[in-house]
Amino acid sequence: MEKKKKNWVEIVVTVISAVIVLFTLVFLTYQLLTEEQTPPDIVVTFGKPMAKQNYFAIPITAENKGAKTAQKVRIEIVLGEDNSNEKAHIEFDYMPGKSIVKGWVNFNEDPTGQKLGAHVLGYVVP
């Protein structure tokens, strides 16, 4: 059985692949050992409301500033100053640490010029 001589391209690709895999392992290990495992810290921001046919849609951005993952994140959005005004809820199934997720909530009333408030009702830490 003859032994095939390796092409220089194969050698270069193998070396580059090995370096990338090694770098990734070192980087992930470094993060695991040095990053503080802070609990989820959910911060909600609102985008510009959009008028639809029969309702008003508001884009929501939720950011998990903590290092730990949050699951089943449930957020209540209140339109107006007091609790008697219209409310909406949104739930995000999964928010990894240091991540951002986006969604939309809908209201019957026009939110333009009214105060929007967000309250994280709860989440699960796996």
What is the DSSP code string of 35-84?
A: S--PPP-EEEEE---EE-SSSEEEEEEEEE-SSS-EEEEEEEEEESSSTT
Do the domain assignments include residue 48? Answer: yes
Rounded to two decimals, the pTM is 0.73
Tens-place pLDDT, residues 11-31? 999 999 999 999 999 999 998
Which CATH number does the domain housing residue 108 bear?
A: 2.60.40.10
Which domain does 57 fall in, by range?
42-124
Q: Which amino acid is at 121?
A: L
How confident is the model at residue 84, as a pLDDT?
67
- Total domains in the chain come to 1
Pick 83 or 34 by higher pLDDT. Answer: 34
Do the domain assignments include residue 96? Answer: yes
Bridge partner list, 87 = 78
User: Using CA atoms, how far apart are residues 102 and 33, in angstroms rounded to an integer?
Assistant: 30
